[in-house]
Homo-oligomer: A and B are copies of this chain.
């Protein structure tokens, strides 16, 4: 069964503990508390030992980001699977709600992954759930028609590239899409939806709304309604 040697198993186990400790420190005390020595202390070893597993503190933080993305993707997929309606509109709602819920429950992780002026995001882990859903959404016939000429010509080149990314993301899951369905107008609205979703969630997590919102959830729901209408869903819920 376990083909790994004893050494490999121990090493993997230690690495798991390192990630776990780093994550706990981030959650409990913020980014600045994720310290090599603090991690080592949690494992009962010394700091230099960590260099057998990671090249530097920075590399460890990058790994932490990837872990966070993976966990978030898992949480989003779970909430997506919990929706048994089979309607794409409901699924979009479920994932958007899941994203907000996750961000509010994990503000430190959210800040680290989504609001650091870092490299352009090793999105591999994280983006897939969004991309796949966006692809399915666009492929679905429930989506109203947005003519390509709704969007400025200057954007065409970028949107075509994104179109390709989406088609790849969908085809990985075995779904075939005629590119007539995937026109640029729809893709443009998907991007705009991401802007609004991210904007609301980030503002809420960072407390940057222009006034104190007593209960932001209805505002989020309202925005979601508008978003889905813009994308082309009838109000079915």
A20 at the interface (CB under 8 A from B): no
Query: Majority SS of interface residues in chain A?
Result: helix
Among B107, B206, B215, contact of A154 (Cβ-Cβ < 8 Å)? B215
Tell me the minimal C-beta distance from A122 to chain B in angstroms.
11
Interface residues of A in 174-199 (CB under 8 A from B): 188, 191-192, 194-199
Stretch of A76-84, A141-149, A155-163 lying at the B interface: A155-163
Question: Does A152 lie within 8 Å of B218, measured CB to CB?
Answer: yes
Report the bound CA distance from A152 to B197 in whole Å: 19
Q: Please choose the segment from A33-41, A85-93, A219-227 that sits at the chain B interface, where 4 or more of its residues have CB less than 8 A away.
A: A219-227
- Residues on B with C-beta less than 8 A from A199 are 195-200, 202
Judge whether B121 and A116 touch: CB under 8 Å: no
Chain B residues lying within 8 Å of A195, measured Cβ to Cβ, are 196, 199-200, 203, 223
- Residues from chain B with a CB closer than 8 A to the CB of A123 are 210
A188 — nearest CB in chain B belongs to which residue?
B222
A222: min CB distance to chain B, Å: 5
Cα–Cα, bound, A119→B202 (Å): 14
Q: A198 near B203 (CB under 8 angstroms)?
A: yes
Question: In the complex, what's the smallest C-beta–C-beta distance from A105 to chain B, in angstroms?
Answer: 13
Nearest B residue to A156, CB-CB: B218
Q: Is A172 an interface residue (CB 8 A)?
A: no
Docked Cα-Cα span, A134 to B210, in Å, equals 11
Say how far A147's CB is from chain B's closest CB, in angstroms. Answer: 15
Which residues of chain B are within 8 angstroms of A108 by Cβ–Cβ distance? 117
Residues on the B chain within 8 Å of A214, using CB = 157-158
A210-B115 in contact (CB<8A): no
The 8 Å CB contact of A111, one of B107, B116, B194, is B116
Are B198's CB and A202's CB within 8 A? yes
